[in-house]
Structure 1
């Protein structure tokens, strides 16, 4: 059996009732106008409309402001509570919708080279959720921006935030297998002597990331010009290596999928660990939220699969 329809006459002039509630609570039409972002004249007109509609005077005007008439005082609690219930219901609808959206912030290189190729699997496993991905190099403010989860590259020191290790970073030379099959080489180091070097310019902003200069210095290599070649950001540098433009000192997470697919190979076994890692970062009070917990669990599962593939390719 369907519930009875609400008497529509009782719902007339809803905006005017909002103005009435604000004026009764603030004690002035000016105060109500400021709260509602309208003019005092508009509030006054709303009140006149209600008084004409009801045939009842609602306010007594004075130099100090306005006060409710006895009749209006009796009705005010019910009107106030009714409007609050409407506001609470609307708020609930909005938050149920927000609970479906996972707002994620990360760097463009991590987003394009690792997260985006996998995000469809999260959507397939959690059909009721949507991912809103913001790829940016700046550090977002969790307390003033609408961000649920961030994947950040650093040392895990984020005051006031909860950080979970996702990936440790390693760096090693990579190049296209096409280059190795088409360039005559007598010794392993001929790869570096013969082929152009690709420089990831991220290392210019991250002092502790190895560069070709530091990599060669640690191995006592002095007869190779380590300044030659292309200088590109992480995303373009990885793509240039895949396209056969030279040898890149690749970052493990950024080149993981290219190694797994055979688009890149590791001509040298040596790798260097760096102090920075990738972390899942979130507000402590939001970490247990269902959508955040689901996304964290999925990220860690995908990271484990990547590490397994890296171990296989490294071997």
Structure 2
């Protein structure tokens, strides 16, 4: 069986390939330039291939070096992932879950707090981010995803389908001469939400107005936000009407801070999913939380 390279030699090779300089490699790895040269030379001797062309300006990969770099980087990445999985197995008293900021604060956080009250020995770490989770290279154990198309290789469990409905603050309604009449309401500013590339899956005012029978109405645009939670707060403050996501406005509806002023609702074109890699199945605390979360939304 062919002998494998020394791990430190592989790391030196990959770093030198990225920097194009043995001197900079020495600085990054906190070793001497002579040690860098020695690592590369020993690796080349073992592989019986020249990996770098040396010059006064630095070094650059040969064709053999270019090809070998692909496999060397993959090998180091696999080792990092293996260590990451082992570390997670050692730390099963907590797990980390990620969600979009508004979903995290308005929908998920109350459920996490309730679960932790009933399980005081468990720590759940909640991350709020729009970024896609790279499960192979992060400590995140699960996420709440809008659709699951970005995670074709992970486990995905349907949580719920959401809808938007017309809501307003009592502060705003009290100022209107004809109360909840739609013709009067729709003269108020209409709060806008910008979801970026997800906008096509979120019903907008034109969709809602068309369903309500207002095809050619000109409306007054209100403030625009990229977070649903900010739009909800603006509506509570009486800054306009809102097409509020029903999963995110439950507390405001129960407390009376917002009132649903029309029965017309429109579904979002994608459901929300609980997504997690297979490695998370080794954490019984996480699975226990997932079961309760799914039961509450099912």
Bin for the TM-score computed over the shorter chain = 0.5 to 0.7
Aligned 8 A contact 1:203 1:210 in 2: no
- Structure 2 counterpart of 1:108: 101
Q: Is 2:257 aligned against 1:263?
A: yes
- Structure 2 counterpart of 1:176: 169
- Structure 1 counterpart of 2:56: none
Q: Is 2:92 aligned against 1:99?
A: yes
- Equivalents in 2 of 1:241, 1:137: separation in Å? 23
Which structure would you say has the larger Rg? 1
Q: Is 2:277 aligned against 1:283?
A: yes
Match of 1:143 among 131, 136, 158: 136
Query: 1:245 is paired with a residue of what secondary structure?
Result: coil
Q: What displacement does 1:135 show?
A: 0.9
Question: Over residues 104-142 of structure 1, what are the superposed CA-to-partner deviations in whole Å (9 max), with x where a residue is unaligned?
Answer: 111111111122233221211222211122111011111
Aligned 8 A contact 2:154 2:277 in 1: yes
Q: Is 2:133 aligned against 1:152?
A: no
Distance 1:122 1:262, change over 3 A: same
Question: Over residues 179-232 of structure 1, what are the superposed CA-to-partner deviations in whole Å (9 max), with x where a residue is unaligned?
Answer: 223311177213433322111122763213111122112333145323522212
Unaligned runs of 5+ in 1: 1-25, 40-90, 305-315
Q: Is 2:236 aligned against 1:242?
A: yes
Within a 5 Å distance, the mapping from 1:8-47 to structure 2 comes to none
Unaligned runs of 5+ in 2: 13-28, 33-83
The alignment covers a number of residue pairs equal to: 233
Distance 1:283 1:94, change over 3 A: closer
Distance 1:236 1:191, change over 3 A: farther
Q: Which runs of 4+ in 1 moved over 4 A?
A: 36-39, 93-97
Query: 1:226 is paired with a residue of what secondary structure?
Result: coil
Match of 1:129 among 122, 127, 131: 122
> TM-score normalized by structure 1?
0.63
Aligned 8 A contact 2:164 2:203 in 1: yes
- Structure 2 counterpart of 1:312: none
- Structure 2 counterpart of 1:199: 192
Distance 1:144 1:275, change over 3 A: same
- Equivalents in 2 of 1:125, 1:158: separation in Å? 31
- Equivalents in 1 of 2:252, 2:192: separation in Å? 17
Query: 1:194 is paired with a residue of what secondary structure?
Result: coil
Q: CA RMSD in A?
A: 3.6
